[in-house]
Amino acid sequence: MKRISLLLSLLVVLTVPGLGWALEVSEASLTTAIQDRMPVDQVETLPAGVATLYCFSRIVGAAEETMVQHVWFWGEAEMARVELPVRSINWRTWSSKRIQADWTGSWRVEIQDQFGEVLTTLPFDVNE
């Protein structure tokens, strides 16, 4: 009887939205291009003058449609905030940022859930 009760409790937790599934980033990278919905490379340091950089993320665990945000920071200055839909339990998405030649130094992209909680952070540098 205890096993049945435990199984029923687990079933309720896994089927009620927001209780059993935690939104997670299972894969994330910074890349110079996206092909066939996948990053072509993975970069952490870029030369100044690279026109566009992409932040790719694979989000898992969404029990219902939700969203994530890619927040691009140069130092402590927020340079862009991109809201991206998550429409299944395993969802690939990406954002892009044009990097001006004189925007050298430390950068990061925070991948946040719909409430602004940071799920992961991807640091990178743009060198002169």
3-state secondary structure of 1: coil
> Is residue 43 a contact partner of residue 88, using CB atoms and an 8 Å limit?
no
Q: Show the CA angle centred on residue 109, arms to residues 113 and 66, nearest 5°.
A: 20
In-domain check, residue 96: yes
* Residue 119, domain member (yes or no): yes
Question: Residue 20 pLDDT more than 70?
Answer: no
Establish if 11 belongs to a structural domain: no
Residue 3 covered by a domain: no
Q: Which of 126, 128, 124 is nearest to 56 (CA)?
A: 124
The domain that holds 37 is classified in CATH as: 2.70.50.60
- Higher-confidence position of 87 and 50: 87
Cα–Cα distance measured from residue 105 to residue 75, given in angstroms and rounded to the nearest whole number: 7
- pLDDT at res. 26: 97
- Hey, what are 103's tokens? 């925007």
**Domain extent at residue 52:** 21-127
> What local confidence, expressed as pLDDT, does residue 48 receive?
87
The number of distinct structural domains making up the chain is 1
Instruction: Give the number of C-alpha atoms closer than 13 A to the C-alpha of residue 12, restricted to the C-beta side.
Output: 6
Q: What is the pLDDT of residues 61-95, one digit of tens each?
A: 999 999 999 999 999 999 999 999 999 999 999 99
Residue at 9 is within a domain: no
pLDDT cut 70: percent of the chain above it:
84
Residue 11 predicted with pLDDT over 50: no
User: pLDDT at position 49, please?
Assistant: 83
Per-residue model confidence (pLDDT) at position 1: 52
Domain contains 40: yes
Q: What is the pTM of this model?
A: 0.82
